[in-house]
Amino acid sequence: MDVRPLSGAIGAEIHGVDLSRDLDDAVVAAIRRVWLDHLVIFFRDQDLTPAQFLALAGRFGQPVEYPFVKGIEGFPEVTPVIKLEGETMNFGGVWHSDTTYLETPPQGTLLIAREVPPTGGDTLFANQYQAYATLSEGMRRLLDGLIGVNESAKADATRTREDSKDGATAKKRFVAEHPVVRTHPETGRRALYVNVGHTTRIAGMTEAESAPLLGFLFRHQIRLEFTCRFSWRPGSIAFWDNRCAQHNPVNDYHGYRRVMHRVTLAGDKPR
């Protein structure tokens, strides 16, 4: 297994592993160690059927359904992430950690590329351990006691695709409160856990009162030195840790089709 870091802050490509095969426990454990160390890992040229992709995800956690979009036929846990040629809005096109408006947000997400534009459509990732560690001692002390309010309506999740699960789900709003700084349950490290896509305010404050602090954090946590950028090819896979990393799909390929399949893995209550 050949591990090649993608940047100084976050991300690594793993080569020499055929994910279509049954992986033994030692290989799965080794991949998970690289994932925990680098926050997001990438694989190239993986020709996986939906069944194989879902089985791969299941080696690292419990796949769960996405609340706003139907899964592909026969695989409700495999969510299509599609931008068509005539569309201008892309799915999840802001910096965010997935579905932090849920009481138990996912631990991780796997995404495989099926069709990609000739250029563009990259995804950015940001290290939230570094975002927290580089704050001043006074700011860290302030944030450690705060709770963030996260709402699905902020991201206009139901507008990203027309094929929402059903009318009732599309109209449902999810709200969850999580620590502004969470402790990773596996590494024990502290990470910023607010995001511009879902976090609306600080609990106990109005949105107007929260805005100066959140605005600073939203700008700080995506500083260039905390990030990496991944360019997709068909068969590329990204697997990121939602507990300590954010991502942002770049919307720079109007007029072209981009088709991905996504699986999210059940997580725990942030603490």
Where in the sequence numbering do the catalytic residues fall? 96, 98, 247, 262
DSSP state for residue 262 in the 8-state scheme? E
Q: Select from 99, 53, 68 the least CA-distant residue to 247.
A: 99
- Name the phi and psi angles at 33, rounded to 5: -65, -45
Q: Which helix (H) or strand (E) covers residue 133, if one does?
A: helix 128-133
Which tokens in the block code for residue 171? 């109209």
Q: For tokens 């109007």, what's the residue?
A: 254
Beta strands in the chain (DSSP E): 2-5, 12-15, 40-43, 63-64, 79-83, 108-115, 123-127, 147-151, 175-179, 181-183, 190-192, 199-202, 227-230, 237-241, 245-249, 258-265
Q: Which residue spans within 142-253 are E strands per DSSP? A: 147-151, 175-179, 181-183, 190-192, 199-202, 227-230, 237-241, 245-249
Q: Is the CB of residue 233 less than 8 Å from the CB of residue 28?
A: no
Report d(CA 164, CA 257) in Å as an integer.
19
* Residue at 148: amino acid letter: G
Specify whether the CB–CB gap between 54 and 265 falls below 8 A: no
Q: How far apart are CA 135 and CA 141, in angstroms?
A: 10
